[in-house]
Structure 1
Amino acid sequence: MARTSKRKRRLESQELFEKKTEKAYVAGVYARLSVDHQDGDEVSIETQIEMGKTFIETHKDILLYDCYSDLGATGTNFWRSDFERLMQDVREEKINCVIVKDFSRFGRNYIEVGNFVEKMFPFMGVRFISITDQYDSAKQGDCNEALSMHLKNIANELYARDVAEKVKASKQTKRKQGEYLGSVPPYGFRIEKMDGRRTLVRESLTSEIVREIFVRYDSGENVVSIVKWLYEQKIHCPGDYKAYKTVYQQEGQKLRQWRREAIRYLLSNVVYIGNLAQSGKHIREPIIAEHVHEPLVPEEVFCRVGERLEGNRKIQKSRSLRNNTMEEVFRDILYCGECGHKFSRTVTEREFSNNKKRTFVSYGCPNRKRIDEDKCKNESITVLQLQKVILHLLKKEFLLSDIQMKKLTDFNREVGEIRKGQIEKTQKELQKSVENIDRKISFCYMEYRSGSTSQTQFLEIKKKLEEKKEQNQRLLRELSLKYASVDRLVDKQNQALCTVLKCQGGAVLNAELVQNLIGKIYVYPGKRIEVLWKWKDIWME
């Protein structure tokens, strides 16, 4: 057998050592698709990711860890959800290689891209690869390669700014020319192309309906009265009008009543007074802020209607504040047994002859107020009637099911532990949000220092972010107090449960106890009640 020369054995040993010590990279493929759909160079997210995977398959020293993608995200800043996830994995050392299709997919701000590629990634030991730009930070490049990278990043940022300015200028020009930029015309109008522009034109039948609605409300009628009038005239609501393509009900068509919210929105929509650029009124929809078209309603009528609507909103707001001061024991668990709709709560106050006020709370199906085919015949039920029936059923279930008191109290404690776990999860999410806000402020500061944003813009953004951060920190403090009080509340609920089940005097149901024990309550006509218990299936197994 021929002997191997010492020189050959030394070379083979050296090659094996180099293979063993060759660094293996764990990569994340990042893809981004801009909000600018007019960019012809932007390929799909899937194509970008596939390019990254193909590149990894041809490089044995790189392993794929995960793919990250931001759809509809601008490249002018780095406030992107999956980009933040990518950087989080980099900081946690899960990946040490970032692969993109080209520099523009990573970002279009050349200063920030340069900071990442030349400073942050090398400092963190991260390899950066741009496939179509043929850039690989692991390969020692000359000064010409670095210059080429900077020029491409500058071109990318200038392109993004240029496109954004062109799109903005194009929209502003179209608005000034009276062109409608929305996809669906408001009720009472149709879209017609005039001189190459999409223009709002009065639609004969629906425009007369709009005018009549304004006249009726301006003359003193309320929204409910207008809803009844529309139903009596067999006028389709806007959604059904678009579906059936007919204003009035035809044979075989279902007639549904107008929603009161739709009436209020119509009465507050400034599009009906025509030239909005000259009206000086609050614009609710910026995309139609400068349309010039035939007005359907005189401006003085619109102003009077707006004042009346604002007054009604203040009344409703004061009522809701009064309602919120009372504990809602059966929140989100009370349903109609006839139509399955969730019951709504009504709070009323009555003043008696001795000048004392008393509050009455009742629940009822919202569909009982309807006037169309969906009207529900179920009646309302007071909170006192509900309390009485639920207490009776609870005692009955406890006696018939042979459940020990300890099992119910233990179950209550388990629910408390679950609630503590939910609080902890929310706390972690809020804490992560606070950290993200700090990073966003840092990015914003870097953009300000680089001249990308003005001092005024930076201070405005910083103020908003700090307000959001303060809000999250306040919620964190509230959650800490809530977490600390869970055990105390569980003990209080168990005492209330013992009072109820032992038939002691003064037993009442509170919101926590009801939410822990009851899944759903169905109320049928005749005040017949069906209760679905949360704990029943657990101990019946």
Structure 2
Amino acid sequence: MSKIALYIRLSVEDQIDRDESESITNQRSLLNNYLDKNAEFKGFQREEFVDDGYSGTNDKRPSFQRMIDEVKNGIVKTIIVKDLSRFMRDYIMLGDYLENIFPFMGVRFIAINDGYDSAKEKGNGTDLDIQFKGLLYDFYSKDISQKVKTVADELKKQGKFLAWSPPLGYMKDPNDKHKIIIDKETAWIVRKVYDLALEGMSLGKIAMLMNKENIPTPNKRKTELTNMDYKYNIISTEAREEPTWTFGTVAHILSNENYTGTYVYNMQERSVLNSGSIKNIPKEKWGRVENHHEAIISKEDFDKVQQIKEKNRFLKGKNTDYPWRNKSPLQGFVRCPTCNHILTLTQSKHVRKDGSFLYFKYFRCRICKCNNVEHKGSKVELLEEQVLSLIKEKYEEVDTNKNDAVNLKELEKRITKLQDKKMAYFEKYKLGKMTKAKFVESKSNIDEEIEKLEEKIKVSLTTQEVVKGNELTREMMEKYIDSVICENSIVQKIIWR
């Protein structure tokens, strides 16, 4: 017997608003009471799918995805929710589920408070009232997201520390989660970094020294304080099992004004609706609360370090302002054979006899350098020549005999006919002239045939193409190569796509 899925969701916005009617407990009670009162659901197995703290503006929710997987496997045939907004706040995506996906999968969908039951709808669509409600929820979610940001900004202005974890050297006050206090176990690390910088030591050398002395990294301490797993963004190498200090780690600490006792916030703008959308805010627009917490670094020492950094900074403008800084097509593809980390493009400057400068670009491993592991840099020009030669060697060996070339136009015509045929089957299914099982079988066979034809086209295009020109391009790299392992200006291995 198929299951009835009880989908329950409580978002971050609901938790902030503290609306008791939206709580997990109340949603669970409402759904079970509805099922208990309707005899048609008697004896059906029930399973809860709960997403606590997830937004309804997309489907990137663990329990939601697990429920959809069971729908695909034919385990769940009925879904019941408190209202449409619990299931989805995106108007377009909600409509797709109600009008296309669920009718096709034979799933009954019930939204209690909205009075919606797909089994009682005419056809496979939704009435006008439900469509307007979906649109309303979509607008509502965007309005709520702005309200959440406004409330958070007001709390920050009052000095409430809202970040998940404070910077290295601080910890949350056990008695007040909105206050930070000095972490005696790590504050000395911050002072050491600033002392080394004031002595004139470069960022790279500071990182090397911290690794040599096995000093804990910020992420390691953050893991201890929050019990969260940060392994996904902790860099380590075969030569060093402990997390690694890098140039960037040191630079971040030396740029953090929070160490002066000033609470600095809103340095970036993060979208509530799209967690991946981040925009940097100009420094002059950052929020600040003076004398907010105990300082680890004096304001004078912080300003001195900023002056030293500015004085030692070779670049005074954007990377694109310098002709020698033009990016190599190899950037992001070349990796270190020791630690497999992506190599960094650097430069060296030589003075000509006439006083002008000559620049050479190199790929170097900053991770090995920070760990005092020997790595010999590679000249960019030499690597580009080798990679271009290897690409030509591999793809010019392909037999491009025109007599064996596949007629691409004929293949494309066959694909178009198959797609038309699939659409015709779908129309028959919708009109009740074809069973669901027969449609699924026919569709699967057509999709398999289309996939084979598309693969033939791909192979044909590859065999007919001869890499031309004497310059390596980004397009070539993205098309043919996954990564290049190299050191000392020698390509050791190419991993092809």
Query: Normalised by the size of structure 1, how large is the TM-score?
Result: 0.48
C-alpha separation in 2, matches of 1:315 and 1:391: 30
CA contact (8 A) 1:31 1:48 kept: no
Q: Deviations over 1:490-525 (max 9, x none)?
A: 9x984716xxxxxxxxx4444434544444332256
The 3 A distance-change label for structure 1 pair 170 and 273 is same
Residue in structure 2 matched with residue 403 of structure 1 by the alignment: 398
Instruction: Choose which of 260, 281, 295 in structure 1 pairs with 2:247.
Output: 260
2:201 aligned counterpart, secondary structure: coil
Which residue pairs with 1:86 in the alignment?
A: 94
Q: Say if 2:219 is the partner of 1:222.
A: no
Which one of the candidate residues 204, 207, 210 is aligned to 2:187? 207
How far the C-alpha of 1:526 sits from its partner, in A, is 8.1
The one-letter code sitting in structure 2 at the alignment partner of 1:191 is K
User: Superposed, which structure 2 residues align to 1:187-336 within 5 Å?
Assistant: 187-193=168-174, 199-242=179-222, 255-276=242-263, 289=289, 292-309=292-309, 315=315, 317-319=317-319, 321-322=321-322, 326=326, 328-336=328-336
Q: Which amino acid aligns with 2:90?
A: D
Rounded Cα–Cα distance in structure 1 between residues aligned with 2:329 and 2:289: 45
- Deviation (angstroms), 1:207: 2.5
Q: Using a 3 Å threshold, how does the CA distance of structure 1 residues 371 and 353 change in structure 2: closer, same or farther? A: same
Query: What is the match of residue 361 of structure 2?
Result: 361
CA–CA distance in structure 2, aligned partners of residues 240 and 347 of structure 1: 32
CA contact (8 A) 2:205 2:370 kept: no
> Paired residue for 1:523, among 482, 486, 491?
486
| Aligned mates of 1:174, 1:343 — CA distance in 2 | 39
Which of 463, 475, 478 pairs up with 1:512? 475
Shift in CA distance, 380/49, structure 1 to aligned 2, threshold 3 Å: farther
In structure 1, what is the equivalent of residue 380 of structure 2? 383
Q: Verify the 8 A CA contact 1:523 1:530 in the aligned structure 2.
A: yes
> One-letter code of the match for 2:113?
D
Per-residue deviation, 1:168: 7.5
Change (3 A) 1:48 1:318: farther
Q: 1:174, 1:361 → 2: CA distance?
A: 45
Q: Which runs of 5+ in 1 are unaligned?
A: 1-28, 60-66, 106-120, 131-136, 138-148, 246-252, 419-489, 498-506, 535-541
Distance of 1:319 and 1:170 partners within structure 2:
35
Aligned length: 354
Distance 2:113 2:173 in 1: 43
CA distance in 2, matches of 1:514, 1:384: 15
AA partner of residue 339 (structure 2): C
Please say if residues 362 and 382 of structure 1, whose CA atoms lie closer than 8 Å, have aligned partners that are also in contact: yes
Matched, 1:101 2:88: no
Give the fraction of aligned pairs with identical amino acids, expressed as a percent: 17
CA contact (8 A) 1:33 1:44 kept: yes
CA–CA separation in structure 1 for the residues paired with 2:34 and 2:311: 61
SS at 2:297's partner residue?
coil
In the other structure, the counterpart of 2:167 is 186
Specify whether residues 269 and 384 from structure 1 end up closer, same or farther in structure 2 by C-alpha distance, changes over 3 A only. Answer: closer
Cα root mean square deviation, aligned: 5.9
Separation in structure 2 between the aligned mates of residue 173 and residue 188 of structure 1, nearest angstrom: 23
**Equivalents in 2 of 1:396, 1:282: separation in Å?**
50
1:216 deviation in Å? Answer: 3.6
| Larger Rg belongs to | 1
Per the alignment, do residues 47 and 391 of structure 1 end up closer, same or farther by CA in structure 2, a change over 3 Å counting?
Answer: same
More helix by share: 1
Residues 410, 235 of structure 1: CA spacing in aligned structure 2 closer, same or farther, 3 A cutoff? farther
Q: Is the 8 A contact 2:392 2:467 kept in 1?
A: no
Gaps of 5+ in 2: 1-5, 42-48, 58-82, 226-239, 265-281, 413-461
Q: Does the Cα contact within 8 Å between 1:201 and 1:293 map onto a contact in 2?
A: yes
* Conserved? CA contact 1:347–1:360, under 8 Å: yes
The one-letter amino acid paired with 1:260 is: F
CA shift for structure 1 position 404: 1.9
- The offset of 1:352, in angstroms, is 1.9
Distance in 2, Cα, partners of 1:173 & 1:241: 27
